Amino acid sequence: MRLRQARIVFLKEMLETLRDKRTLMVMILGPVLIYPVLILVLVTMSRAQQGRLEQQPSRVALIGQAVAPSLTDRLLDDEHIELDALQLGDVREAVRTGRVEAAVIVSRDVETPDEASPLLTGALARVVVIYDQADERSELAFERISELLGAYSREAVTGQLAQLEEGEEYAYPLVIRRESVGTPEAVGRRVLGYVIPMMLVLMTIAGSMYPAIDTTAGEKERGTIETILTTPAGIAEIVAGKFLTIFLIAIATGLLNLAGMGLALAAIGHAAQETINLSLPLDAALLVLLFLVPLAFLFSSVMMAVAMYARTFKEAQNYATPIYLLCIIPAMMSTLPGFELTPFLCVVPVVGVTLLLKELLQATIVWGHLALVFISTSLYAYGAFRLTIRLFHNENVLFSSERPFALFVGRTRLKPRPVPTPGEALLLAAVCFVLFFTAGQIVQSHDLRVGLTITMWGLLFLPAVGFARYLKLDVRKTFALRRPSALALVGAVVAAVASLLVVLEIEYVQSKLLPYSQELAEATKRAFEQARFGLVETLMFIALFPAICEEMLFRGFMLSGFSSKMRRWQAAIIVGVLFGFYHVVPVAMKVIPVSHIVIGIVLSLIVAYSRSIFTGMLFHLLYNAGLMTLGYLEPLLEKAGLGGAWLDAGGHVPALLLVPAALLLVGIVAAFVVAGDKRSRAGKHSSA
Amino acid sequence: MTDTGAVIKAEGLHKVFVDARGEEVHAVRGLSFEAHRGEILGILGPNGAGKTTLLRMLASIIQPTEGRASVCGFDVVREPDEVKRRIGFLSGNTKLYARLTAAETVRYFGRLTGLDDETIRRRTDSIFASLNMETIRDRRFEKLSTGQKQKVSVARTLIHDPEVLVLDEPTAGLDVIASRAIVSLIREAKAQHKTVLLSTHYMTEAEELCDRVALLHEGLFLAVDTLDRLVEDAGTTSLNEAFLRRLEAAGVDLGSANEEAAR
State pLDDT tens for residues A416-441: 888 998 888 988 998 898 888 778 88
- Mean local confidence (pLDDT), A191-215: 85
Chains A, B: CB pairs < 8 Å: 91
Confidence check: pLDDT of A524 > 70: no
Confidence check: pLDDT of A586 > 50: no
Find, among B8, B205, B201, the residue nearest to B87 by Cα. Answer: B8
Burial A458-479 (b: 16+ CB within 10 A, else e): ebbbebbbebbeebebeeebbb
Confidence check: pLDDT of B97 > 50: yes
pLDDT on residue A245: 94
CB contact under 8 Å between A405 and B96, yes or no, is no
The residue with greater pLDDT, A663 or A527, is A663
- Segment of A60-74, A386-400, B133-147, B249-263 carrying the highest mean pLDDT: B133-147
The nearest alpha carbon in chain A to B165 belongs to A230
Q: Does the predicted interface ipTM exceed a cut of 0.85?
A: yes
Q: Give contacts of B84 with chain A, Cβ < 8 Å.
A: 230-232
The residue with greater pLDDT, A269 or B117, is B117
pLDDT bracket for residue A520 (50, 70, 90): low
Taking only Cα atoms into account, the Rg of chain B, rounded to an integer number of angstroms, comes to 19
CB contact under 8 Å between B22 and A406, yes or no, is yes
Q: Are A598 and A588 in contact (CB under 8 A)?
A: no
d(CA B182, CA B188): 10
pLDDT bracket for residue A645 (50, 70, 90): low
The nearest alpha carbon in chain B to A400 belongs to B19
Q: Give contacts of A406 with chain B, Cβ < 8 Å.
A: 20-22
- Mean local confidence (pLDDT), A554-571: 92
Q: How far is B26 from chain A (nearest CA, A)?
A: 13
pLDDT on residue A499: 92
pLDDT on residue B260: 45
Confidence check: pLDDT of A116 > 50: no
- Segment of A184-198, A295-309, A370-384, A463-477 carrying the highest mean pLDDT: A463-477
The nearest alpha carbon in chain B to A564 belongs to B22
CB contact under 8 Å between B94 and A223, yes or no, is yes
Confidence check: pLDDT of B221 > 50: yes
Q: Give contacts of A396 with chain B, Cβ < 8 Å.
A: 17-20
pLDDT on residue A569: 92
Q: Are B11 and B3 in contact (CB under 8 A)?
A: no
pLDDT on residue A100: 92
Q: Could you read off the pLDDT of A127-156 as tens digits, one per residue?
A: 889 999 888 889 999 999 999 988 888 887
pLDDT bracket for residue A585 (50, 70, 90): low
Q: Could you read off the pLDDT of A154-199 as tens digits, one per residue?
A: 887 888 888 888 887 888 888 888 887 877 777 777 878 888 888 8
pLDDT on residue A118: 37
What is the percent of chain B with per-residue pLDDT over 70, rounded to a whole number? 91
pLDDT on residue A202: 85
Confidence check: pLDDT of A279 > 80: no
Q: How far is A471 from chain B (nearest CA, A)?
A: 9
pLDDT bracket for residue B3 (50, 70, 90): very low
d(CA B82, CA A560): 39
The residue with greater pLDDT, A407 or A353, is A353
What is the percent of chain B with per-residue pLDDT over 90, rounded to a whole number? 57
Report the 10 Å Cβ neighbour count for B103: 20
B-interface mutation test, from A230, A309, A417, A471, most B Cβ less than 10 A away: A230
A-interface mutation test, from B72, B107, B111, most A Cβ less than 10 A away: B111
Task: List the single range of A2-16, A155-169, A213-227, A327-341 with lowest mean pLDDT.
Answer: A327-341
Confidence check: pLDDT of B163 > 90: yes
pLDDT on residue A289: 82
Burial B1-13 (b: 16+ CB within 10 A, else e): eeeeebbbbbbeb
- Mean local confidence (pLDDT), A380-394: 84
Q: Are B161 and B106 in contact (CB under 8 A)?
A: no
d(CA A193, CA A188): 8
Find, among A149, A144, A195, the residue nearest to A35 by Cα. Answer: A195
The nearest alpha carbon in chain B to A225 belongs to B94
CB contact under 8 Å between A230 and B93, yes or no, is no
Please write down the long-range contacts of A381-386, taking CB distance under 8 Å and 24 or more positions apart.
A381/A294, A381/A297, A381/A298, A381/A300, A381/A301, A381/A302, A382/A301, A383/A301, A384/A298, A384/A301, A384/A302, A384/A304, A384/A305, A385/A239, A385/A243, A385/A297, A385/A301, A385/A304, A385/A305
Q: How far is B206 from chain A (nearest CA, A)?
A: 24
B-interface mutation test, from A226, A396, A402, most B Cβ less than 10 A away: A226
Confidence check: pLDDT of A112 > 60: no
Confidence check: pLDDT of A589 > 70: no
Interface of A to B at Cβ within 8 Å reads 5, 8-9, 12, 15-16, 19-20, 222-224, 226-234, 395-396, 399-400, 402-406, 408-409, 413-417
Task: List the single range of A525-529, B115-119, B228-232 with lowest mean pLDDT.
Answer: A525-529
- Segment of A315-324, A470-479, B141-150 carrying the highest mean pLDDT: A470-479
The residue with greater pLDDT, B16 or A195, is B16
Using CB atoms within 10 Å of the CB of residue A231, give its burial: 0 to 12 exposed, 13 to 18 middle, 19+ buried. buried
Find, among A322, A317, A325, A320, the residue nearest to A300 by Cα. Answer: A320
Confidence check: pLDDT of A448 > 60: yes
Find, among A231, A202, A248, the residue nearest to A17 by Cα. Answer: A248
| Angle value at C-alpha A560, between A402 and A302, nearest 5 degrees | 55
When the pLDDT of each residue in chain A is averaged and rounded to a whole number, the result is 82
CB contact under 8 Å between B104 and A395, yes or no, is no
The nearest alpha carbon in chain A to B116 belongs to A4
The residue with greater pLDDT, A26 or A601, is A601
For the entire predicted model, the pTM comes to 0.70
Q: Are B45 and B51 in contact (CB under 8 A)?
A: yes
Confidence check: pLDDT of B108 > 70: yes
pLDDT on residue A409: 60
